[in-house]
């Protein structure tokens, strides 16, 4: 396990997490969350948890993104507060 | 977006490969990464891709609400049936070894694991697809 790669991935993941809760547009937040899920998949695979990485890739990046976008399409796109 | 020929052609080409990969993940789950849940989700994502690229009615012609209902009950029935079959052979729930010992067929517990994984995959695929149907359905019509 290369610690520089690990550190960069963790840093980028924290940036994604902060960006996902600070951005105003909800569709942008959903896409950033999908990117967060992708980095989390790489981290799980680096930690030799391939099964968890597979679940994270399919459910985290695939299903929840579509579900969030479907939910946003039925409500308003950006928060008004 | 429905008129875009690139999206339609790519989805038409990708969906069979996604579904074959989902079946591979389900069958390969006993000996490696993957399993019934992941395979079912990958299979459901192929229907989601069809819903995004084409139409909800296009996907409903492939697997309708009745189909998802029957599939979700069928998968649970397979899972519980194999488990209760093990109890009938005086074992615990999902203790495959007793059936293999009673019938004397080699590697039977491997086939039973695959059967249980297939049941899990069918249920997960049907439930995920029905959730997407309900989410993508605009205007209350839920036929």
CA distance A34 to chain B (A): 15
Residue B141 lies inside a defined structural domain of this protein: no
22-41 of B, contacting A, C-beta below 8 A:
25, 33-35, 37-38, 41
Residue B127 lies inside a defined structural domain of this protein: yes
Domain that holds residue B95: 5-136
Residue B142 lies inside a defined structural domain of this protein: no
CB contact under 8 A, A58 and B45: yes
Per-residue model confidence as pLDDT tens digits over B60-115 = 888 888 999 999 999 999 999 999 999 998 888 888 888 888 888 888 888 888 89
Angle, in degrees to the nearest 10, between helices B108-136 and B5-28: 150
The closest CB to that of A59, out of B34, B35, B41, belongs to: B41
Per-residue model confidence as pLDDT tens digits over B13-25 = 999 999 999 999 9
Is the ipTM value over 0.85, yes or no?
no
Residue B25 lies inside a defined structural domain of this protein: yes
CB contact under 8 A, B42 and A55: no
Q: Is the distance from CB of B98 to CB of B86 less than 8 angstroms?
A: yes
Cα B143 to Cα B140: distance, rounded to the nearest angstrom: 9
Q: Is B52 on the interface with A (CB under 8 A)?
A: yes
pLDDT category at B41 given cuts 50, 70, 90 is very high
Q: How would you class B97 by CB atoms within 10 Å of its CB: exposed for 0-12, middle for 13-18, buried for 19 or more?
A: middle
72-131 of B, contacting A, C-beta below 8 A:
128, 131
Sign of the Cα pseudo-torsion (B3, B7, B8, B9, in order): positive
B53 contacts on A by Cβ (under 8 Å):
none
Nearest to B119 by CA among B83, B66, B65, B67: B83
CB contact under 8 A, B45 and A55: no
Q: Please count the residue pairs, one from chain A and one from chain B, whose beta carbons lie less than 8 angstroms apart.
A: 38
Q: How many distinct structural domains can be found in chain B? A: 1
Partnered with residue A25 across adjacent β-strands are: A78
> Closest residue of A to B44, CA-based?
A63
A41 contacts on B by Cβ (under 8 Å):
none
Domain boundaries, given as residue ranges, for chain A? 3-74
Which of A70-79, B2-11, B32-41 comes out lowest in average pLDDT? Answer: A70-79
Residue B92 lies inside a defined structural domain of this protein: yes
């Amino acid at each position: 396990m290369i610690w520089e790669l690990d550190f960069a991935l963790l840093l980028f993941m924290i940036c994604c997490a902060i960006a996902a809760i600070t951005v105003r547009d909800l569709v942008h937040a959903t896409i950033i969350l999908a990117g967060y899920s992708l980095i989390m998949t790489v981290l799980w695979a680096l930690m030799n948890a391939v099964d968890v990485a597979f679940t994270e890739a399919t459910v985290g990046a695939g299903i929840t993104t579509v579900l969030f976008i479907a939910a946003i399409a039925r409500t308003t796109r950006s928060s008004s507060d | 977006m429905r008129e875009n020929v690139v999206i339609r052609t790519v989805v038409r080409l990708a969906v069979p490969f996604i579904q074959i990969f989902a079946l591979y993940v389900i069958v390969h789950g006993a000996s490696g990464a993957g399993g019934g849940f992941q395979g079912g989700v990958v299979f459901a994502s192929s229907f989601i891709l069809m819903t995004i690229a084409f139409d909800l009615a296009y996907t409903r012609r492939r697997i309708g609400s009745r189909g998802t209902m029957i599939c979700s009950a069928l998968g649970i029935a397979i899972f519980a049936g194999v488990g209760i079959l093990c109890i009938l052979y005086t074992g615990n729930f999902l203790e495959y070894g007793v059936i293999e010992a009673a019938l004397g067929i080699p590697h039977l517990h491997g086939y039973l694991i695959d059967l249980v994984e297939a049941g899990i995959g069918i249920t997960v695929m049907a439930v995920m697809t029905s959730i997407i149907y309900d989410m993508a359905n605009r205007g209350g019509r839920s036929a």
